[in-house]
Each structure stands twice: as structure tokens, then as C-alpha cells.
């Protein structure tokens, strides 16, 4: 059976290059070469321990720096969820919680179309398709005394209406509804009061075949 380790090197390289520990150890051995014999067993073993300790410190620092990045949070995830008033359920996975937090924190900056797009993309991940605005040729504006609309819609417009298109790739029915509903709650707090929105799949709603609340109207 083939063995692995520094005493029995394998003729092929695996992974993404030298580890932090190997880089540090090489640097230490290079510095010691002016004063001591790097090939000495005691020196070789001691540098291994020193390199492991320094690599551990660097790893801890890197992990600490990730606590400020929603997509990489570990220990601080629950803290930020509480501060942003997110309420994960026991069935939510860590990646789902991080995605929702990333969308929530992104939505605190601004609420222009580009911000809505980025927030929706963070929340939906691979299930995000696009943000669709009403084409200028399809814009309808009604207001009393000038161009009143039909009964119940005398004062209405679709000018400030957007649609967030998503897909159902790798999602069960419940997972799809959970993602859609979570984005809906975030958008409800995020977009301007004069803007309306919908979330769905497909390019248009087909009567008698489309699912209400799922297909885009």
C-alpha cells in the first residue's frame, strides 16, 4: 500500500500547492541556514512545530476576518441574524441563513434597481434569474379627471412595478415557497412605498395552466 507523508513523498502533487505550514517552514529553515544545520533532526522537528503554530495563528486571523462577511460567517452568524431581526428556523441550513443575511445587509445600503437586483441575487443564489421592468410601450397610467381607469383602478399605474424572475432548479415545492416567501418579506421592507413587485417563474402567466403565486403575471 502506498504511504504518504514527508518521509514517503508521492510522485504526484495533490491540492492547490504548498500549504501555509509548508511555506512558513521553508522560510524558517532558510533563515536558520545561516546559523544552524537545517538538516539536523532536532532543528527539522522544531521548525515543524513552529511552522504549525504560526500557520494556526494565520488561520485564526483569517477566520476572524470572515466574521464580517455574511457569506463566510460562522460564530457571528447568529449575532448578526439577531441584530438584523432575521428569524431562522431549525430546518434552515447554514448556507441558506448566510444567503438571507447577505441579502438583508445588502438591502441596508440603497433601494435602486441595481440594489434590488443584487439583494435578490444574494437571497435566491442559483435560483435568481433577473429583475424585469415594465416595457415603456406597455406602461399604463390612470388618474381621475384626465385618464381614469376601470372601476376600482381609477388611479393606478404599472410604471413602478417590477418582477423578480426566479427558477426552481434543485428545489422542492416547499423549498421554492420558502425562498420566494423570504425574498417577499425582505422586498416588502426594502423597496420604496410607491413601488409594487411580484416574484415568480417563467416569462408570462398562462390562463388555465399557470399557477397563481408561482408564474409571473
Over residues 40-69, the mean pLDDT reads 78
Q: What pTM did the predictor assign?
A: 0.58
pLDDT, tens digit, 9 for 90 and up, residues 26-46:
777 777 666 666 667 777 778
Cα separation, 208 vs 155, whole angstroms: 29
Rg value, the chain, Cα: 28
pLDDT, tens digit, 9 for 90 and up, residues 163-188:
899 999 998 988 888 889 889 988 88
Ordered structural domains, the chain, with CATH: 20-33+44-67 (no CATH), 70-101 (no CATH), 107-217 (3.30.70)
Q: How confident is the model at residue 15 (pLDDT cuts 50, 70, 90)?
A: low
pLDDT at 205: 47
Cα separation, 141 vs 2, whole angstroms: 75
Contact 55, 90 (CB under 8 A): no
Contact 202, 210 (CB under 8 A): yes
Burial state string for 47-84 with b = 16 or more CB within 10 A and e = fewer than 16: beeebeebbeeeeeeeeeeeeeebeebeebbeebbeee
Amino acid at each position: 500500500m502506498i504511504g504518504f507523508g514527508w518521509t514517503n513523498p508521492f510522485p504526484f502533487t495533490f491540492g492547490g500547492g504548498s500549504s501555509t505550514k509548508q511555506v512558513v517552514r521553508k522560510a524558517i529553515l532558510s533563515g536558520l541556514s545561516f546559523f544552524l544545520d537545517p538538516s539536523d533532526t532536532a532543528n527539522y522537528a522544531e521548525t515543524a512545530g513552529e511552522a504549525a503554530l504560526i500557520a494556526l495563528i494565520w488561520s485564526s486571523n483569517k477566520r476572524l476576518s470572515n466574521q464580517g462577511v455574511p457569506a463566510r460567517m460562522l460564530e457571528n452568524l447568529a449575532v448578526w441574524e439577531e441584530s438584523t431581526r432575521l428569524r431562522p428556523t431549525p430546518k434552515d441550513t447554514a448556507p441558506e441563513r448566510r444567503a438571507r443575511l447577505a441579502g438583508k445587509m445588502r438591502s441596508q445600503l440603497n433601494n435602486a434597481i441595481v440594489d434590488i437586483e443584487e439583494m435578490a441575487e444574494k437571497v435566491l443564489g442559483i435560483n435568481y434569474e433577473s429583475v424585469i421592468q415594465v416595457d415603456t410601450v406597455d406602461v399604463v397610467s390612470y388618474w381621475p379627471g384626465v385618464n381614469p381607469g376601470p372601476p376600482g383602478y381609477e388611479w393606478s399605474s404599472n410604471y413602478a412595478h417590477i418582477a423578480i424572475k426566479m427558477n426552481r432548479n434543485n428545489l422542492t415545492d416547499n423549498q421554492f415557497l420558502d425562498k420566494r416567501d423570504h425574498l417577499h418579506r425582505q422586498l416588502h421592507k426594502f423597496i420604496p412605498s410607491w413601488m409594487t413587485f411580484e416574484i415568480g417563474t417563467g416569462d408570462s402567466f398562462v390562463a388555465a395552466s399557470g399557477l397563481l403565486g408561482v408564474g409571473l403575471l
